[in-house]
Amino acid sequence: MKRVLITEAVNGPLSALAGFEVEERDGLWRDPPALKSAVRDCAALIVRNQTAVDRELIGAARGLRVVGRLGVGLDNLDLEALRERSIEVVHGGGLNARAVAEYVVGACFVLARRLATSDREVRAGEWRRHLGVELRGRAMGLIGLGATGAETAKLALALGMSVAGSDPVLDAPSGVRKVSLEEVLRRSEFVSVHVPLAESTRGLLGEEQLAMLPAGAIVVNAARGGVVDEAALLRALESGHLAGAALDVRVSEPPPQPDPFAGRDDVLLTAHLAGLTQESQRAIADQVLAGVRQLLT
């Protein structure tokens, strides 16, 4: 019987794997020696973003035929090492686009109206009325125009925002002006990142790029932590150049403590949950598990 190892939460039924020997060990990624031992004889490995499917782990997985990635980003997979072994990859690309888009717009609302700040103040017995801004008529900039960027554009346009985006390959969806990255940064009051983490995108928003943004701009990163230079972002916030930031993803997850962003009222911090909705996770689980089954039969 073919063995399937699951190292992180599926968030969906496992019925598609009926007939296989399924070992579900959520959190196994925290114990690399145990993970290396467990993967030795499995035909399929199903992970999220925490399990490092690196060359060493792939080398230990002697019978591995397919890796299922319950999500979109593939930066935790050594794709070259997988190709060398002819190991297939199945992922849920595009299926959490709406979930992430709603998070992005929601984060913009929270920061523009200082909702999280007011919540903390009222809970502490304070009563301060903050003057916010409306999103209607504001400029949204999108870095990356794939499925998630396009879905974010739809929501922003529906709110009456103007939307511009940059992408080295993809065309702009209807209603979005495609411009250079530099122009996106210079014109946008809200900027949202929608690119994968690769060598070409690591540190894409650094000191120079953040300085291009208009004073008072807000940055949302629900893509990958390494795309935004966290030290540069912190300096831009401390100087007052940026009015706020939402960070759903970090360079290290969880971030090391003490976290320099944690005490800031102009920053919204969440635990890589932008794509985690019941709807998106069920769709991703269904697609990935069905793909794994197909490749093993």
Catalytic residue positions, numbered: 224, 253, 272
CA–centroid distance for 257 within its chain: 21
Tell me the C-alpha distance between 15 and 114, whole Å: 44
Count of beta carbons in the 10 Å neighbourhood of residue 17: 22
CB 254 within 8 A of CB 271: yes
